Structure 1
Amino acid sequence: MGRREALIALYAAELSGKCGLDPDMPLLERVVDGCGPTIFVPDGGIVDVDSPAELARIRRNFLVRKLALPDGHDLPEAIRAAVEMYGAAGDPKYRAVLYYMLVVQLGAEARHP
C-alpha cells in the first residue's frame, strides 16, 4: 500500500470513527487529490482548528477559491460545525477529513474536482 492509499484509509477511519460518517470513497479520493502534496507534509496535512487565521485560510482558499462558493456568513458556521463534529480538542485534525466534511455539509460534491 502506497502513502496515498494509507492516508485515504486513515482518513476514512477518522470519518467513520470520530465523525460517525460513512465516507463516499470516490469523493474522499477526489478531496485527497485536490489537497495535493500538502497532505504528505506533516504540518500541511494537519489543521490547527484553534487558529482563527488557519480557519480563515480554509474559508478563503478552499471554500471560496477552490469550490467557488459565495463568501457569506454560512461558511464560518459550516467550518465551526465541521470542527465540532470532528472534535475541537485533542487529537490532530486532518485537512482532508475536514475538507471532506465541508464538501458534504455544503452540498458541494459536484464542485470538487
Structure 2
Amino acid sequence: MSTLDELVGKYIADVKEMEDNPDIDLLRKIAESMGPSIHNRDASLVSSSDKEEWKTIRKNFLIGKLGLEDSDELNQAINQVLEKYGKSNRNKYRVVVYYLLTKHYNKEQLFK
C-alpha cells in the first residue's frame, strides 16, 4: 500500500464522521493535487484558530483553485466547514477541509 493510499484512508475515516457516503475519488484527486505537501505534517493540517491559515485557504484554494470571487462569504464558508469538522479537533486534515469546501461550492467537476 502506498503512502498516498494510507493518507486517503485517514481522510476517508474523518469524512465518514461527517457524511455517510464520502466521494473517495474526489478525496484522492484533491490529495493528489496537493502534491508532496500532504506528507509534511505542518502543511497537511489546518489550524482553525489561525487567521493566516484562513487567508491561505481563501486565497490559494477558494480563489486560486476553485475560481471563486473574493468576498466575505468565503470566510463564512470556511467557518462552516471548520465547525462541521469540529473546531476542537486539533488534527484537521487540509485535504478534508478542501474536500468539504469543494462540496460546499459544488465544484467537484474541477477534480474529475
TM-score range, shorter chain: over 0.9
Does the 8 Å contact 2:45/2:93 carry over to 1?
yes
Amino acid paired to 1:16? K
The answer to whether 1:47 aligns with 2:46 is yes
> Which residue of the partner structure matches residue 66 of structure 1?
65
Long gaps (5+) in structure 1: none
Q: TM-score, normalised by structure 2?
A: 0.93
Long gaps (5+) in structure 2: none
Does the 8 Å contact 1:45/1:96 carry over to 2?
yes
Distance of 1:51 and 1:36 partners within structure 2 = 23
Task: Kindly provide the CA deviation profile for residues 1-51 of structure 1, in whole angstroms up to 9, marking residues without a partner as x.
Answer: 11100000110000002x234211111111111111101011111111110
- Determine helix, strand or coil for the equivalent of 2:42: coil
Distance of 2:3 and 2:50 partners within structure 1 = 28
Distance of 1:106 and 1:21 partners within structure 2 = 19
Distance of 1:26 and 1:39 partners within structure 2 = 16
> Which residue of the partner structure matches residue 7 of structure 2?
7
Distance of 1:21 and 1:27 partners within structure 2 = 15
Amino acid paired to 1:34? S
Distance of 2:94 and 2:8 partners within structure 1 = 12
Does the 8 Å contact 1:67/1:112 carry over to 2?
no
Q: How many residues align?
A: 112
My pick for the range that moved more, 49-58 or 103-112, is: 103-112
Matches within 5 A, 1:21-32: 21-32=20-31
CA RMSD of aligned residues (A): 1.3
Name the % identity: 33
Distance of 1:21 and 1:98 partners within structure 2 = 17
Q: TM-score, normalised by structure 1?
A: 0.93
Q: Which runs of 4+ in 1 moved over 3 A?
A: none
